[in-house]
Amino acid sequence: MALWCAPGAHAAEGDLDPGFGSGGTLIAPIGSSSDEAHAVAIDSQGRIVAAGQSSNGSALNDFSLARFEPNGGLDPGFGTGGKVLTTFGPTTDDLGRAIGIDSLGRIVVAGSSNSGSNNDFAVVRYDPGGTVDGSFHGIGTATTPIGAGDDSARGLAIDSQNRIVVAGSSDNGSNNDFAVVRYDANGNLDASFNGTGKVTTPIGGDSDVATAVAIDSQGRIVVVGRTFNGTKDDFAVARYTASGALDTTFNGTGKVTTSFSAGGFDEANAVTIDSQGRIVVAGQSFNGTNDDFAVARYTPSGALDSTFNGTGKVTTPIVNGDDDAEGVAIDPQGRIVAAGFVFGTSADFGLARYNPDGSLDTTFNGTGKVTTSLTAGNDRGRAVAIDAQERIVVAGDTGNDFALARYIGDQTPPTVTISGGPPDGGFTNDSAPAFDFTSSESGSSFACGFDSVAPSGCSSPFTVGTALVDGRHSVSITGTDRAGNTSAPATRAFTVDTRNPKLTIKGKKRVRAKGRRARARFKLKADEPVALACKVDRKKPKRCGSKFRTPRLRRGAHKLKVTATDRAGNKTSKTKRLRVVEG
């Protein structure tokens, strides 16, 4: 039997992870001056890559990124001592804003580059070791002007073909529009996207700024940000087909705007898509005094999802000051993590975790909310990711250096349910029964054991490898979730019985009729508990007891057939012939 141990009381969901950095946090200087991390991603080996920009000492910035090992140490196999700085030119001001990792482990960072006149979209791709990838656009970097004015990229997503989608805003001469660019896997503008690789979209009649992008399971591109409605900013969402056209199955127009309050400014900063195709957007909303975290969830058709907080949207004050959500992620249990920074006396990292129904998850720090101060100054969380062990990683900066924190995300064991095979306490005539089972958490691994055989890795359905002898047996199955929590064992005790029951029929072979008909009486007996069915002549079998009396029978020959079925389903049938004679 597997032993089950409850998670240790020393670590709770929402606590800083003591196995990361120094007590769950780290601060890393990247360049020679101020460093800001704006994005974070986690690779297939659990290494954390943070990206942003660093001042190069000449009043200009370079793209910067750092890769950390799962324990928080800088990865010496990446760049120089775990760090990389990239400039698009000797006099360019380069701001890294978004990151993605493609299916080959290559790291893509997007943002903007200013050569002295205005900003253009800027993208660089690195190989897994941190070297600029020369196979991307021939030189490893690409800059793309959208309009005649400033173009600033804020979001990045990579599709199943390793095409890179970058979203931001473009100045149309009067105000800003949403702007989306798609590059092929070689770094060239993808002409299959809107014919030019670029598309701009006005959301309202004034300034529209896109801040984040995600790609759904159908390859549709979801871009979020804010739009000015003439009075205030609202959340703005646009969905494009894979070819770059606005998707009119989304709200009829491909666009939707959402206001959280009549007079408050609402800004969307992050987006993710859940397993049901619902779009989750996070940002902030002004409550009349200060900003609160704001989260909205939309159905795949673009309507606010009323199963989320009843209205499809929720606002959450974290502290008594401004609270800005800059990133959002969804864990394997469908819980939504919004992260950013909060202002009390200074800025601190701030997080909130919501249940799938939009309520705060009180298993997370007891309140559903966490704040973390890394320094005495301003610590701004700007991005969030969840690793394979469901640990929550928030990246940002102290104003001078990259800063990261990792939190315990899951300390709750899964529940394993056995749904197939003989029932607990039941019987079976199958000497190799199969047991179907599931876990309450997707991605769980399982260990199955039976009788005195130690548990080992298994999958559903579980079948005992060798035929079981008749008698009592038991099966035990445990599940371990991605965070390493192991369930209490789900068990089944059952009896294997492959022997048919022994059945005897006692009664007279000749029955005398008083008149034309007569009834015969029989005693039926089995050597174990059975269900009996009796059939007389060609009539349908009927359930019967151990004392069976036939219906009235005509004079002549008759046949009684009795079938005994034991608890395991084994059957024995016997026939008794009789004759009704004149009395």
Q: Which pairing describes strands 571-582 and 556-566: parallel, antiparallel, or unpaired?
A: antiparallel
Residue range 78-103: mean pLDDT, rounded: 96
Taking only the tens place, the pLDDT of each residue in 11-28 is 899 999 999 999 999 999
Residue range 515-527: mean pLDDT, rounded: 95
Residue range 163-173: mean pLDDT, rounded: 95
Residue range 78-95: mean pLDDT, rounded: 95
Residue range 73-87: mean pLDDT, rounded: 97
The Cα–Cα gap between 87 and 471 comes to 74
Partner residues linked to 16 by β-bridges? 407
pLDDT at 2 over 70: no
Least confident span in 115-119, 282-286, 439-443: 115-119
pLDDT at 3 over 60: no
Taking only the tens place, the pLDDT of each residue in 272-286 is 999 999 999 999 999
**What's the pLDDT at 520?**
96
**What's the pLDDT at 11?**
80
What residue ranges define each of the domains in the chain, with the CATH number in brackets? 416-496 (2.60.40.10), 503-582 (2.60.40.10)
Residue range 555-562: mean pLDDT, rounded: 96
Q: Which pairing describes strands 93-101 and 107-114: parallel, antiparallel, or unpaired?
A: antiparallel
Residue range 226-241: mean pLDDT, rounded: 95
The Cα–Cα gap between 426 and 424 comes to 5
CA angle centred on 211, ends 150 and 110, rounded to 5°: 70
Residue range 507-533: mean pLDDT, rounded: 95
**What's the pLDDT at 7?**
40
pLDDT at 264 over 90: no
Residue range 548-560: mean pLDDT, rounded: 96
The Cα–Cα gap between 274 and 284 comes to 20
* Structure token pair of residue 362: 């009180």
Residue range 412-433: mean pLDDT, rounded: 95
pTM, to two decimals: 0.86
Average pLDDT along the chain: 95
**What's the pLDDT at 9?**
45
**What's the pLDDT at 10?**
59
| Burial class for 231, CB neighbours closer than 10 Å (0-12, 13-18, 19+) | exposed
The Cα–Cα gap between 361 and 340 comes to 17
* Structure token pair of residue 11: 């670590």
| φ/ψ of residue 449, rounded to 5 | -140, 160
Residue range 104-126: mean pLDDT, rounded: 94
Residue 215: CB atoms within 10 A of its CB come to: 18
Residue range 113-120: mean pLDDT, rounded: 88
Percentage of the chain exceeding pLDDT 90: 90
Task: With residue 564 as reference, give the H or E element that holds it.
Answer: strand 556-566
pLDDT at 8 over 90: no
